[in-house]
Structure 1
Amino acid sequence: MPMSSKPLAGRRILVVEDELMVLMLVEDMLAELGCTSITSAATVDQALAFIDEKDFDAATLDVNLHGIKSFPIADALIARGVPFMFATGFGAEGVPARYNEQTVLRKPFRYQDVSDQFQRLLNC
């Protein structure tokens, strides 16, 4: 794949997802897009710890993590100026109005959806 088709080259992405198969799919997509670093978390606490320890260029958050909403993670990312998108099978209806400006990627999604949305988030 030519370098021009790796639009996320050098980027550090946080993926917050509790379903292993979805996580593996997203990780593969991001690697294909050229991400330098992909950090995955399956719980709110784990994601918040990573946010405190590392710098990220962008993130994707599953809204529902084993029955716990990921909104504290969204708030931490907003406080740090890290762009992110929500991923959910419920669409925008499952996201509170205070996050209206955030992208919602509806599951199931395709490679092109992930590529387009991360490029939009990162202005690349």
Structure 2
Amino acid sequence: MSGRLKILVVEDDALIAMELEERLQELGYEVLGPVATVEDAERVIAETRPDAALLDANLAGVSSVPIGVKLAGMGVPLAFCTGYDQIKDAPPELANTPILTKPISEADLVAGVKKLFGG
């Protein structure tokens, strides 16, 4: 078992998902997924508790807010990766969730992930 921090990536755009996975691995993180649906994300969470999560806010028209609420309830820090500057219908427990605006620059990704881990 590696001691690397595990980040769940939920992203329905295959190219963005691959790029995020590659960039996170280069930064030394273990990537869970990437997965493209709320159902797949739930399956991953049931098997392995992530140390943090990056969620695309809109998965082919389906909101990832429910998975965010579940992760927040588990105490998992998360950020939304989206083309929007706010999350529609975000419940109070996600009100302060950071948003990384796509396309995510290298600097924003590094800073965003550091912030998730209290850096």
Inter-partner Cα distance in structure 1 for 2:44 and 2:116: 20
Shift of 1:37: 3.9
Unaligned ranges ≥5, structure 1: 1-8
* 1:101 aligned residue: 96
TM-score (norm 2): 0.90
Alignment length (residue pairs): 116
Identity percentage of aligned residues? 35
* 2:67 aligned residue: 73
Q: 1:74 to 1:114 in 2, by over 3 A?
A: same
Unaligned ranges ≥5, structure 2: none
TM-score (norm 1): 0.86
Higher helix proportion: 1
**CA RMSD of the aligned region, Å?**
1.5
- Assess if the C-alpha contact under 8 Å between 2:32 and 2:44 holds in 1: no
SS in 2 for 1:85: strand
Shift of 1:38: 3.4
1:58 aligns with 2:56: no
- Assess if the C-alpha contact under 8 Å between 2:21 and 2:31 holds in 1: no
- Assess if the C-alpha contact under 8 Å between 1:15 and 1:40 holds in 2: yes
AA aligned opposite 1:31: Q
Q: Larger radius of gyration, structure 1 or 2?
A: 1
Shift of 1:33: 0.5
Shift of 1:55: 1.4
